[in-house]
């Protein structure tokens, strides 16, 4: 009940922001662009080991991600290019966060870890492929928004990892990003394979129907 109340309160705040931005005539594409610029800042913060602030910035960036589509619908500015821009820059935002993490663990610091660099790299590849297979399958009329680790889950995990990681800390509870990277790497690849199998099944059904 408490969690639901928080969710309703958050949605009221977001809806008020959407109404205000739409009334002010702010174009949704501007919000999309601001969101990706903030995500680039998140990449820089990750790269310098400022994990907590990177997590905060990631929250702010994804607030803009929620606003742009709602503002577009409320203001009647829904366009094909807007959808294309949003989808394309979402991919860039995803890669920026992973790139920052890779830079940090690849740097010449006490936290240097080839394993973490590899996990972040696999997570980056997996997240891009999950998004690509969905976009590509829609060309053939298949919606494949399924799987264990979709974009919202990936973002939440990155935020959790960022807010619970303090470089140079000896505390077990202040270094959660490596565990998060394991989940992101394995979960993203699993979701990619799941979607590939699902799309294969759906295309076979369509081909069978066409041959009747």
CB neighbour list of residue 141: distance below 8 Å, 6 or more residues apart? 206
* CA 147 to each of CA 121, 151, 163: distance values in angstroms, whole numbers, following the listed order: 20, 10, 25
Higher pLDDT, 44 or 112: 44
Mean pLDDT confidence for 140-158: 85
**Inter-residue contact 151 to 90 (CB < 8 Å):** yes
Report CA-CA distances (Å) from 57 to 50, 52, 145: 11, 9, 27
Confidence of residue 125 (pLDDT cuts 50, 70, 90): very high
- pLDDT tens figures, 6-37: 446 556 767 777 777 777 777 788 888 888 89
pLDDT at 11: 66
Fold of 2-210: 1.20.120
Listed by start position, the domains of the chain span 2-210
Report the helix count and the strand count for the chain, using DSSP H and E: 7, 0
Helix (H, G, I), strand (E, B) or coil at 108: coil
CA atoms within 13 Å, Cβ hemisphere of 28: 26
What is the pTM for the complete model shown? Answer: 0.85
Long-range CB pairs of 1-7 (<8 Å, 24+ gap) are none
């Amino acid at each position: 009940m408490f969690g639901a109340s928080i969710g309703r309160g958050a949605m009221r705040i977001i809806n008020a922001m959407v109404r205000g931005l739409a009334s002010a005539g702010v174009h949704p594409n501007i919000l999309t662009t601001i969101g990706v610029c903030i995500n680039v800042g998140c990449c820089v913060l990750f790269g310098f080991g400022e994990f907590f602030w990177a997590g905060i910035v990631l929250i702010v960036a994804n607030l803009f991600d929620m606003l742009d589509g709602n503002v577009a619908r409320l203001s009647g500015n829904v366009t094909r290019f807007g959808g294309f821009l949003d989808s394309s820059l979402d991919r860039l935002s995803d890669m920026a966060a992973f790139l920052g993490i890779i830079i940090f663990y690849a740097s010449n610091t006490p936290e240097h870890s080839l394993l973490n660099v590899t996990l972040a790299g696999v997570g980056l590849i997996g997240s891009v492929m999950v998004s690509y297979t969905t976009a590509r399958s829609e060309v053939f009329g298949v919606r494949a928004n399924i799987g264990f680790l979709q974009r919202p889950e990936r973002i939440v995990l990155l935020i959790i990892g960022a807010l619970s990681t303090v470089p140079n800390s000896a505390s077990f509870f202040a270094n959660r990003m490596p565990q998060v990277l394991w989940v992101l790497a394995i979960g993203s690849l699993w979701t990619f394979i799941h979607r590939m199998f699902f799309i294969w099944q759906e295309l076979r059904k369509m081909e069978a129907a066409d041959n009747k």
